[in-house]
Every structure is written in structure tokens, then in C-alpha cells.
Amino acid sequence: MTDLDVSGTTFGVIVGSEPAPWAGPDEAPLESRPAGTDSATAAIVGPTRVAPPLMTPPLMTLPNRATSRTRSRRLPRSLERLAGVVALFLAWELASRAGWISPDILAGPSTVLTAGADLVRSGVLIESLWASLQRVLWGMAIGIPLGTALALASGLSRLGDNLVDANIQMLRFVPIIALQPLLVVWLGVGETVKVSLIVLGVAFPIYVNTSSAMKSLDPRYLELAEVVGLKRFQLIRRVVLPGALAGFLVGLRLATAIAWLLLVFAEQINATSGIGYLMTRAQLFFQTDLIVVGLITYAALGLLSDGLVRTLERVLLRWQPGR
């Protein structure tokens, strides 16, 4: 508890200090004199003050923890958000049951749920999921090292930068999806095309974000490295790479989102397995429930992988201020 009264005409000053267990008592003489007695700072400031009339100005009581309105919410925020989602699904279910939405247009949530459960039970969903997941995993397993290697090449040497960066900055503006015809001509219609598309889609954001993070590294840290005499290898390991980590992780998050997007695209062109194949087949028979199951699976996969990257960020960037 701290009590304080300031009367109408007072100029109050609060002086505080951190405790300093490291400043031993042997140094006391240096600190014993208050800093305020310094001759230059004690000079009189401003003209002589005319005293105002001694009257209490209008006062108000500030809200505190008990009385504050912003704190006493009816419901936690997450619960409110969840309620909105539940309401939407309820309305959807109701509309389906009442026959306002035909099953050929969009199946209701309960139908989708049953269809999904059937697919899980028969093993088809798991099989398709695995086929799709494999493509993404391969694409990332190749695309991430590729993008990182290119970023290192351009970030660590001027020659590398000149050779790599100009080309990539040019290719970056070609929509990856538009490369599909060319890739099919080169690689046929098998798995290789699908994985290649994802590789390209992953490598670009990884490259762009990592290399720009390396280039925008705070020059003060490079100065420090010079002052403490870091060798080139140490400079890369201790300063450049950790400094580029945040940029790399931003690239990784973009890359995961793009990987799923390209997967959907690749699987709907010509696939004989995977979630996209499941949905394309369902489309032929107007099985909207199966299509919705596919959509939900994609969404869940996207959400899950984004969560993984976020967790990775939280762990790897725990040194960042404000985390």
C-alpha cells in the first residue's frame, strides 16, 4: 500500500532506484553525496511563480480493479468466439433438416459427420490423407533446404548474390501454377510433377524471406563481431544465421500455406489417390457430403501445420523481446 497526498500548489518529485547488491559498501563515499546538490543543476528555472488561490480543484475517483468496467466481462473472449461458430453450424444443420438446402447443393453437418466417420472406418480417408501428406512432406523436405541453400549462397557472398538473386527475383513473378503444363511435358503426370510444384512453391518464400533477413541484419551487430574479432565461420554461426532465423520462420509459415494450396491444385488435375482425388470423384456423383469432408480435412491439415510452425517459432524465437 502506498499513500500519497499532493496539495494544490506543490511540485512533487518521486525519486526511485533499483537495488544494487553489487555495489559494495567500500564505494560509499562516492555515492554519499546526493546528485541534486550539483551546482550547475541547482540553478533557478523560470520566472517567479505567482501562487494560485488555495482551493481544491474538482476531483474524480479513478476506477480500480474492483470497479473497472473493462475487466468485468460477462464471458471469456474465446467462449464468445466459439459460440459464433456453434451458432453457424446449428443454423446450417437446421436449414438442411428443414429442406431449405438440398443435399445436392450442400449436405448438412450431421450428414457430413456420418460420411466422414464411414470414410475413417473403411480406411479410405486415412489412405487418402497419407497419400496427400506424403506429397507435401516430400515437397517441403526438398523445397526448404533448396530455398535455404540459395538464400545462404546469396546472403554470404557478393558473387552468390549477383548470380542467384537476380534470377530468383525474376522467376518469383511467374505464377507457380502456370508452370504446370511445362512440368507435365518434362516429368509426365506422376507423383514427380505434384512434388515438384510444391518444391517450387516452398523454395521461393523460404528464399525471399531468409535472404532479405540476412541482408537487413542490424549493422551494429556486424560491428560488434568485428570488435570482438569473430572469424568468418563464427560470424555466420553466431550472428548471421540466428539473425536470419525470424525471417526464415516467416518464410516457413508462408511456405506451408502455399504447399497445401498447390497440393489441392495438383490433386485436382490428375490424381489417383489423395484427398483431392476423393473430392474429384465425389463431384461426379454429387456427393456434397464427401466434398465437405475433403474440405474439412484440408482445413484441419492447414491449421495443424500452421500450429506446428507457430510452436516452432515460439521455441526458436523465445529470446525475442515481447515474447
Partner 1 sequence: MIAVTPTATTQTVPPQTVPPQTVPPQTPISQATRPRSARPLAVSARGVTRTFGGREVLRGLDLDLGPGEFVALLGRSGSGKSTFLRALAGLDDGFDGVIEVPVQRSVVFQDARLLPWATVIDNVVLGLPPLEAPLAGLAALAEVGLEDHARDWPKTLSGGEAQRVALARALVRSPDLLLLDEPFGALDALTRIRMHVLVQRLWNRHQPAVLLVTHDVDEALLLADRVLVLTDGTISLDVAVDADRPRRVGDPRLVDLRSQLLSELGVDETAEGRSPADLPHPQLPNEHLPNQQGDTQP
Selected from 159, 182, 224, 299, the binder of partner 1 by CB under 8 A is: 224
Largest CA distance in the chain: 92
Does residue 221 interact with partner 1 by CB under 8 A? yes
Check residue 5 for interaction with partner 1 (CB under 8 A). Answer: no
Element (H, E) at 217: none
Residue 238 or 281 with smaller CB distance to partner 1: 238
d(CA 200, CA 207): 11
Residue 220 touches partner 1, criterion: CB under 8 A: yes
Give me the least distance between CB of 206 and partner 1, in Å please: 19
Residue pair 154/164 in contact (Cβ under 8 Å)? The answer is yes
> Which one of 2, 7, 10, 17 is in contact with partner 1 (CB under 8 A)?
17
Dist CA 278 CA 276 (whole Å): 5
43 near partner 1, rule: CB under 8 A: yes
- Residue 287, SS3? coil
DSSP-derived letter for residue 108 is -
Q: How far apart are CA 290 and CA 280, in angstroms?
A: 10
Cell representation of residue 39: 551546482
Decide: is 100 part of the binding site for partner 1 (CB under 8 A). no
C-alpha cell at 138: 516430400
Measured from the CB atom, the residue of 198 and 240 that comes closer to partner 1 is 240
Packing angle, helices 191-215 and 124-156, rounded to 10: 40
Taking CB under 8 A as the criterion, the residue among 133, 179, 245, 295 binding partner 1 is 245
C-alpha to C-alpha distance for 323 and 318, rounded to whole angstroms: 6
**251 CB-side CA count, 13 A:** 27
Q: Please name the residue ranges forming H helices in 61-157.
A: 77-97, 109-122, 124-156
Q: Is 232 in the site for partner 1 (CB under 8 A)?
A: no
Does the protein bind partner 1 through residue 216 (CB under 8 A)? no
Under rule CB under 8 A, residue 228 binds partner 1: yes
Which residue lies nearer to partner 1 by CB, 100 or 233?
233
Point out which span in 77-85, 119-127, 223-231, 257-265 binds partner 1 (CB under 8 A). Answer: 223-231
Are 198 and 263 in contact by the 8 Å Cβ rule? The answer is yes
Q: Does 18 bind partner 1 (CB under 8 A)?
A: yes
Mark the segment that binds partner 1 (CB under 8 A) among 31-39, 69-77, 153-161, 281-289: 31-39
Contact (CB, 8 A) for 8 and 52? yes
Q: Does 37 bind partner 1 (CB under 8 A)?
A: yes
Closer by beta carbon to partner 1, 1 or else 228: 228
Least distance to partner 1 from the beta carbon of 242, Å?
A: 4
Between 80 and 218, name the residue whose CB sits nearer to partner 1: 218
Tell me: does residue 104 bind partner 1 (CB under 8 A).
no
Least distance from partner 1 to the Cβ atom of residue 7, Å: 27
How far, in Å, CA of 91 to CA of 12, rounded? 62
Does residue number 1 form part of the binding site for partner 1 (CB under 8 A)?
no
- Please count the residues of this chain forming the interface with partner 1, following the rule CB under 8 A: 40
Under the binding rule (CB under 8 A), the answer on residue 163 touching partner 1 is: no
Residue 164 per-residue DSSP state: I
Which one of 3, 5, 38, 104 is in contact with partner 1 (CB under 8 A)? 38
Cβ burial, residue 270 (10 Å; 0-12/13-18/19+): middle
Q: Which residues bind partner 1 (CB under 8 A)?
A: 17-18, 20-23, 27, 29-31, 33, 35, 37-40, 43-45, 220-221, 223-231, 234, 238-239, 242-243, 245, 318-321
